[in-house]
Amino acid sequence: MPTAHNPCDSAAMINRIKSAIKRPETLFYAVAAFLLLSLGLMIVIDVFDAFGWRTRWLASGEERFYFWMHWYSSPVENPMQWFLLGSGVGIFALGAGAAYQRQKPEEFEFALLMSLALGVMFLEDVADPRHSIRTEMENIFGASSYGVLGSVVELTYFAMVGALLLYVFFRFRKTFWPHKKVRKFLVAGYGFYALAVGSSWLGSAFQSLTAEGRVLYTVLGNAAMGLLFRGNEEMEQLFLTLDMQAQTLRGHPIGFYFMDRVWEESIELLGAAALVVAGLAFFQATAGASRHESTEDSAPENNPE
């Protein structure tokens, strides 16, 4: 025979979770430190070949590229970015459940829609459906997936994904804005992802219309690699070899992947971390709070007009 739900048990669980979330922003700073460490590893291994690590890495298997090309795919994107986005889905869902229990409809809708939005972002990052859509458009219309049609389709796709996030931001602005830490990291998360999406689209748009298929990512990536990885004749020869290998096996020059991996994945990881921190801070500030409870992050500031 089922037992009646005891609201005191839920309140106790919420309080235990809140007590475990002392400083949610620590997660963001830890991710930033990890990315700095990643840059350090790239310089030590790929630029200076310290202790012969780059040489041994390239000789350790087939289809090896620079260390950074593999590192920023795994673990930076998978599992770290995927784990953070998945965690964000669960954290905001938990916040929605707590708001529902306390009969706070605005907080419930905000947290639920943020959970849904992060779920869409998670699926987009894991499955990359936009590339499948562009490929199908190429098969149907016979036009390059990196031409005008493909670039417009991708921009439309990004706009559709972003529309939900923008709706949540402006529709529930008064719900999260009074909480300083939530506001700070939510805005940061939106900003990082806007930068990543804008870079991704501008970096590869209209490739088939440019001279020799050169796009912004390739130009910027080659310039950056020219400063870091082409300092002497040996490094120049290695760059040319790996560049040809990347074009043959992966479809793009290696400079393109430098921007796609080192730049874009770093920005996305920071964005994912910031959104998770926003979710943790929102839960900390609102879950289990009574109408008279006043803390640094739960005490509302003046709502913007």
Residues 10-22 have pLDDT tens digits of 556 656 666 556 7
Distance CA 300, CA 292 (A): 11
At 11, the amino acid letter reads A
Burial of 283 (0-12, 13-18, 19+ CB in 10 A): buried
Q: Which are the contacts of 208, defined by CB distance < 8 A and separation ≥ 6?
A: 144, 146, 147
Distance CA 28, CA 34 (A): 10
Residue 183's nearest CA partner among 285, 305, 69, 30 is 285
How big is the CA angle at 234 (ends 229 and 240), to the nearest 5 degrees? 65
Task: Note the pLDDT of residue 144.
Answer: 61
Task: Note the pLDDT of residue 222.
Answer: 93
Distance CA 217, CA 11 (A): 51
Burial of 128 (0-12, 13-18, 19+ CB in 10 A): exposed
Task: Note the pLDDT of residue 8.
Answer: 57
Task: Note the pLDDT of residue 60.
Answer: 87
CA atoms in the 13 A half-sphere facing the CB of 251? 5
Task: Note the pLDDT of residue 2.
Answer: 45
Distance CA 281, CA 291 (A): 18
Q: Concatenate the DSSP letters of all residues of the chain into one string.
A: -PPPP-HHHHHHHHHHHHHH-S-THHHHHHHHHHHHHHHHHHIIIIIS-GGGHHHHHHTSSTT---HHHHHTTTTIIIIIIHHHHHHHHHHHHHHHHHHHHTT-HHHHHHHHHHHHHHHHHHHHHHH-HHHHHHHHHHHHH-S-TTSHHHHHHHHHHHHHHHHHHHHHHHHTHHHHTTSHHHHHHHHHHHHHHHHHHHHHHHHHTTGGGSGGG--HHHHHHHHHHHHHS-SSHHHHHHHHHHHHHHHHHTSS-HHHHIIIIIIHHHHHHHHHHHHHHHHHHHHHHHTT--TT---TTTS--PPP-
Distance CA 23, CA 179 (A): 14
At 170, the amino acid letter reads F
Task: Note the pLDDT of residue 294.
Answer: 37
Distances, alpha carbon 208 to alpha carbons 145, 150, 264, in Å: 8, 10, 22
Q: How many CB atoms lie within 10 A of CB 113?
A: 19
Q: pLDDT tens per residue, the chain (305 residues)?
A: 444 555 556 556 656 666 556 789 999 999 999 999 999 999 999 999 999 999 999 998 878 899 999 999 999 988 999 999 999 999 999 999 999 999 999 999 999 999 999 999 999 999 888 878 777 777 777 666 666 777 888 888 899 989 999 999 999 999 999 999 999 999 999 999 999 999 999 888 776 556 555 788 999 999 999 999 998 999 999 999 999 999 999 988 999 999 999 999 999 999 999 999 999 999 998 875 544 443 445 445 555 44
Burial of 278 (0-12, 13-18, 19+ CB in 10 A): buried
Task: Note the pLDDT of residue 9.
Answer: 62
